[in-house]
Amino acid sequence: MAVFKNKLKEQERELGFGSKNYAKSVRFLDKNGKVNVQRTGLGWYNNTDFYHSLISASLSKLILIILGTYVLINVLFACLYYIIGAQHFGGLDIPGSSKSQEFIGLFFFSAQTITTLGYGHIYPIGNAASIAAALESLLGLLSFALATGVLYGRFSRPKAHVLYSKNILISPYRESKGLMFRITNKKQYELIESEAVLTMTINNPETNKREFLNLKLEISRVNFLAMSWTIVHHINEDSPLFGLIKNDLLERDAEFIILIKAINDTYSQNVNSRISYKANDLIENAKFKHLSPEATKEGKLKVSVTEIHHYDLIENATLNQKPT
């Protein structure tokens, strides 16, 4: 037992999450690979990073934020113009028009002003209306400059669009077992010099601490991520997983953290990707199906990347038994 503990100590690594053993189940990385830590204590201002939130938000969320902000600003300025009075805007005072029609007209005047478009159909009269319109024009220039910067930052930032298999498997491997998952490149650009690091974090009931253990990979680097890559950890006597079954991993709140580093050949820059699997994502006695690439008329290989999720269950497979 002492030898086994020393072996685990040698394989332990520090990922920056501390060693506290939590009573509740936690997840250090979410499904999108983001670090699942919320930092508090310095007030809302220090805990808010608008640029990071905008540049890392999903495209649909970003579009909603931009459209929502655009409509909100125009509504606020339309209200301001309405308070100033419709009589201070030439071309708006139409006989027989209702208050709602006046507000709608002021809303579209605001939309023309914030974009500095200015059709000229409606125009400010007097100092109050002119000052409000000038302030909105300035706000529009600053707002669109900010939106342009965010959009440019999103599209110019090199990324690693790595697709991970939905599950992590324990499969037959070299007359014993192996922990396996698959990755592939979702985009048409190439990822070269790809490297993988696999770490398991697990509660230790004896020390009441959380351990982060490095799981040695059979192949930790490939030159091209052209098709798919099955990443394998051999579960032998030197493995921290030896003697553990899925129920043990569930009880000890195990999480498998994967870090992928590669070079995006379009930008010639290093890119990173990360994800984690919890113990309930683990499938015992299963094996990934082989991919079925096809040769096209142009001499290229065509493969469906979603096939990396497919696996077959294996009946009558021998599990690793707990050491007696």
User: Do 163 and 81 share a structural domain?
Assistant: no
Looking at the fold, whether 171 and 307 belong to one and the same domain comes out as yes
- Residue 276 within a domain: yes
Task: With respect to residue 318, please indicate whether it lies within any of the assigned structural domains.
Answer: no
Structural domain includes residue 247 = yes
Distance from chain centroid for Cα 137? 36
| Candidate from 7-11, 37-41, 304-308 with smallest mean pLDDT | 7-11
CATH number assigned to the domain comprising residue 240: 2.60.40.1400
pLDDT at 8 > cutoff 70:
no
Residue 45 — pLDDT band, cuts 50, 70, 90? low
Q: Are residues 102 and 165 in the same domain?
A: no
* Phi/psi of residue 318, nearest 5 degrees: -90, 125
| Structural domain that includes position 67 | 46-156
Express each pLDDT in 93-130 by its tens digit. 665 568 888 888 899 999 999 988 877 788 888 899 89
Do 143 and 182 share a domain, yes or no? no
CATH at residue 107 = 1.10.287.70
The pLDDT tens digits for 122-176 are: 888 889 989 999 999 999 999 888 888 888 888 777 888 899 999 999 999 988 8
Verify that 52 and 138 share a domain, yes or no.
Answer: yes
Domain tally, the chain: 2
Q: Is the pLDDT of residue 92 over 80?
A: no
Is residue 104 classed as helix, strand or coil in its secondary structure? helix
| Shared-domain flag, residues 177 and 301 | yes
Condensed to tens digits (0 to 9), the pLDDT of residues 193-207 reads 999 999 998 888 887
pLDDT band at 226 (very low <50, low <70, confident <90, very high): confident
**Is residue 25 domain-resident?**
yes
Closest C-alpha to 288, from 200, 196, 197, 165: 165
Buried b (16+ CB within 10 A) or exposed e, 114-130: bbeeeeeebbbbeeebe
